[in-house]
Amino acid sequence: MAHIVNQDICTFCTSCMEVCPVSAISEKNDKAWIDADICIDCGACAEECPVEAISPED
């Protein structure tokens, strides 16, 4: 499973993009977006997010 970004909370600070080891995070409509096909579910992005906008996909 991949992590997901809550678009209502994301401030697009790019902190998550900087720590993603597989470059699964990109910009989409001025928000961070995680490509589920690339994400390895390591959780580094969620730990780094200052506004807690990233969580595991249900």
Average pLDDT over residues 28-46: 96
pLDDT value of residue 1:
81
CATH of 3-56, one of 3.60.21.10, 1.10.10.10, 3.40.50.300, 3.30.70.20: 3.30.70.20
The CA-atom distances, in angstroms, between 54 and each of 14, 36, 58 are 12, 13, 12
The answer to whether the beta carbons of residues 24 and 34 sit under 8 Å apart is yes
Q: Residue 58 pLDDT more than 80? A: no
- pLDDT per residue as tens digits for the range 16-36: 999 999 999 999 999 999 999
pLDDT value of residue 43:
96
The answer to whether the beta carbons of residues 30 and 7 sit under 8 Å apart is no
Q: Which two tokens stand for residue 23?
A: 């470059």
pTM above 0.85, yes or no: yes
The SS3 assignment for 3 reads strand
User: Where do the domains of the chain lie?
Assistant: 3-56
